[in-house]
Amino acid sequence: MIRVKGHLLVKLSICALSLSSCASLKKGNANKKTATTPAAANNNRIQFIDGIATSRTTRNNTSHYNSKDVSISKNITRGSANLENAQSWQFKYAQLLDVPVEEVLNQKLYGFIDEWYGTPYRLGGKTRDGIDCSGFVNTLMNTVFQLGLSGNSTDLFSQVKRLKPHDLHEGDLVFFRIHHKRISHVGIYLENDKFVHASTSAGVMISDLKEPYWKRYFAGGGRL
């Protein structure tokens, strides 16, 4: 009887040990799973964060290029706005003066020139049928700049304040001695060395002070 009880106690002890070892194994497995799950979650989060970081980097790059594009488009918009608002007469005279369209702004002046452009030369003339250099200058200055001018080129030369060529501005007068010791021709300075006048050969036109002919006979400029 004592032996049977001893055997039973031994068996019970072995079962208890086995159960406790199983429990510890389960706990160990559970701990492993618990430890693994956060790691996996962390891995997933890291990948997810990486994904966002990548997309953010891409977004930042895109915004960087977009900001460059915007700045460029603003520049283009400013430039194109001037061009879009420009009128045909501005393009025409910008080409004749060889200057940017944005610099051709005096509509009254260029409108007057446009109306008279090509009018034939006629000594003593003052109409669209024919006009001479002083008649054209007097008519333009009176109409556009509201100055009560009269007289021939010599008279006008005596009325102006003399200027050096690099000091000339729009509306100043330019004078020439053509085959004469006295002043014999007058025109109106525009810009970029260009001036408008009534020439004997082609009537009202725009010429360049740097042209050899006009450079040769140029007598000076002046301001009223």
What are the tokens at 57? 């980097």
Catalytic residue among 15, 64, 180, 197: 197
CB distance 126 to 149 below 8 Å? no
CA-nearest of 108, 109, 112, 134 to 121 is: 134
Task: Determine the Cα–Cα distance for residues 22 and 60; give it in Å rounded to an integer.
Answer: 55
Q: Is 22 assigned a catalytic role?
A: no
**Can you say how many angstroms the Cα of residue 153 is from the centroid of all Cα atoms in its chain?**
42
Which segments of 86-152 does DSSP mark as H helices, in order?
88-97, 107-116, 133-144
Q: Is residue 185 a contact partner of residue 175, using CB atoms and an 8 Å limit?
A: yes
The type of residue at 150 is: S
Order the strands of the 203-208 sheet from edge to edge: 161-163, 218-223, 173-176, 185-189, 194-199, 203-208
Q: Which two tokens stand for residue 153?
A: 């080129």
Contact 150, 138 (CB under 8 A): yes
Catalytic residue (choose from 15, 133, 169, 180) = 133
Any idea which residues carry the catalytic annotation?
133, 185, 197
